[in-house]
Amino acid sequence: MRAYEGRVDFDIILAGGGLANGLIALRLAQVRPEVRVCVIEAGAAIGGNHTWSSFASDLTAEQREWTAPLFAHRWDRYEVRFPKARRVLEAGYGSCTSELLAAAVGQVVPVLTGVPIVAVTPVSVTLADQRVLTAGAVIDGRGQGPTKALDLRWQKFLGQEVELAAPHGLTGPVIMDATVPQVDGYRFVYTLPFGPRHVLIEDTYFSDGADLAPGVLRGQLADYAVAQGWAITRVIREEIGILPLGLGGDIEAFWDEGDAGVPRVGLRAGMFHPVTGYSFPDAVAMADMIAELPSLDAATIYRAARDHSVGAWKARGMYRLLNRMLFLAAHDDERRDILQKFYEHDDELVGRFYAARPKLRDWMHILSGRPPIPVLRALRTLMRYEMGKA
């Protein structure tokens, strides 16, 4: 790892060492190694304690190649389970880890950890120890912040990476096991098999609230393992996440809420899949976009990042409409019914949906047929939302 040496002048300072800024650091080191980059992270390590997953179709061939060192695991297929259907989709899936991100970033740029940032401008950061570092541009990637401009709901989860007494028998990830009791919104268990007796199990919710009770979720994970016939011999690590899901809002006003002229990336820029909360593909695309800019001054990066974010948000309006039906119009188990119906579609449509590259006919198929919720209730809910009465 290259150690931070107290330099105060950089071409780019990446404020926050999360996924989005970590990928920017890596991409700049690959294609523009002359650019002097520094990462500043308040926590003890780059990336924190996270697993980021994506579908193979989310990335281009070039993106899969340059991000390959971050992938700890890849699978050729994944499974979903619902009360009335159980299905294996022949589509690639992979997971990256914060450990691999930290190792990769630390090899290519100076990293300063353990010092919070108290203020940012387009060309400087002020640290909690009162040091001021300057740069040609500061990019703010410090994660989801408070906002009044976006209407959000939440995907929240507690996961445990565990060792089992005997092989689990899985042949690939189970990205949704929704056969579990439905509480606090739409609930499912997410499982990644990392080895014959090594598995990550997450109790996950699409919920109206961002509150999370770790003790309760730990108990439910233990119960789920027992129900699968698994005996946990060791908990290797635990991961907690609360991710935004989008219902609506004003993306331009969202950008105006931030520090004037400071480029933003990742969740701080509203870059996440509105329905799934996945952020890895958007972070990869943003890193590519920034690395290709003709100039890396603050004004150029700010305009490019804002335009990219605004364009993506506006292009995904249909996803937010689906979320409004899921969170506002659906009752109790109907939320699960909506997801169950979605998985009746073919593998290619599902892949395009997750990659946020659907075709017009995909939406026609998704919205056709007998809906899981009454049509009049859905229409009334959508109309009330548009009138500001939801």
Least confident of 6-15, 65-74, 140-149, 293-302: 6-15
pLDDT tens digits, one per residue of 170-217: 999 999 999 999 999 999 999 999 999 999 999 999 999 999 999 999
Spatial contact of 14 and 24, defined as CB atoms under 8 Å apart: yes
Q: 238 has which bridge partners?
A: 160
Q: Give pTM, 2 decimals.
A: 0.94
Q: What is the DSSP letter of 293?
A: -
The pLDDT value recorded for residue 390 is: 56
Residue 371 has pLDDT above 50, yes or no: yes
The pLDDT value recorded for residue 5 is: 44
User: Residue 112 has which token pair?
Assistant: 């300063």
CB atoms within 10 A of CB 365: 14
Q: Which of 335, 331, 75 is nearest to 188 (CA)?
A: 335
Q: What is the CA radius of gyration of the chain?
A: 21
User: Residue 142 has which token pair?
Assistant: 């410090």
Residue 96 has pLDDT above 60, yes or no: yes
Residue 119 has pLDDT above 80, yes or no: yes
Please state the rounded mean pLDDT for residues 278-295.
Answer: 98
Residue 367 has pLDDT above 90, yes or no: no
Residue 4 has pLDDT above 50, yes or no: no
Q: How many helices (H) and strands (E) does the chain have?
A: 12, 16
Please state the rounded mean pLDDT for residues 122-137.
Answer: 95
The pLDDT value recorded for residue 2 is: 42
- Mean pLDDT for the chain overall: 94
Q: What is the band of 333 on the pLDDT scale with cuts at 50, 70, 90?
A: confident
The pLDDT value recorded for residue 1 is: 34
CATH 3.50.50.60 placement within the chain: 9-75+94-147+250-315
The pLDDT value recorded for residue 252 is: 98
Q: Which amino acid is at 197?
A: R
CATH 3.30.70.1990 placement within the chain: 150-246
Q: What is the band of 350 on the pLDDT scale with cuts at 50, 70, 90?
A: very high
Rounded to the nearest 5 degrees, what angle is found at the Cα of 43, between the Cα atoms of 301 and 188?
Answer: 90
Pick the CATH number of 150-246 from 3.30.70.1990, 3.90.180.10, 3.40.1110.10, 3.30.70.260: 3.30.70.1990
Phi/psi of residue 325, nearest 5 degrees: -70, -40
Rounded to the nearest 5 degrees, what angle is found at the Cα of 294, between the Cα atoms of 292 and 297?
Answer: 105
Spell out a b/e string for 299-323, using b for 16 or more CB atoms within 10 Å of the CB, else e. ebbbebbbebbbebbeebebbbbbb
Residue 6 has pLDDT above 80, yes or no: no
Residue 320 has pLDDT above 80, yes or no: yes
Q: What is the band of 3 on the pLDDT scale with cuts at 50, 70, 90?
A: very low
Strand order through the sheet with 186-195: 85-89, 78-82, 174-177, 186-195, 198-207, 150-164, 232-249
pLDDT tens digits, one per residue of 35-79: 999 999 999 999 999 999 999 999 999 999 999 999 999 999 999
Q: Which of 243, 35, 37 is nearest to 158 (CA)?
A: 243
* 375 or 70: which leads in pLDDT: 70
Residue 8 has pLDDT above 60, yes or no: no
Please give the class, per CATH, of domain 9-75+94-147+250-315. Answer: alpha beta
The pLDDT value recorded for residue 389 is: 60
The pLDDT value recorded for residue 372 is: 85
Spatial contact of 248 and 151, defined as CB atoms under 8 Å apart: yes
Residue 359 has pLDDT above 80, yes or no: yes
pLDDT tens digits, one per residue of 132-172: 999 999 999 999 989 999 999 999 999 999 999 999 999 99
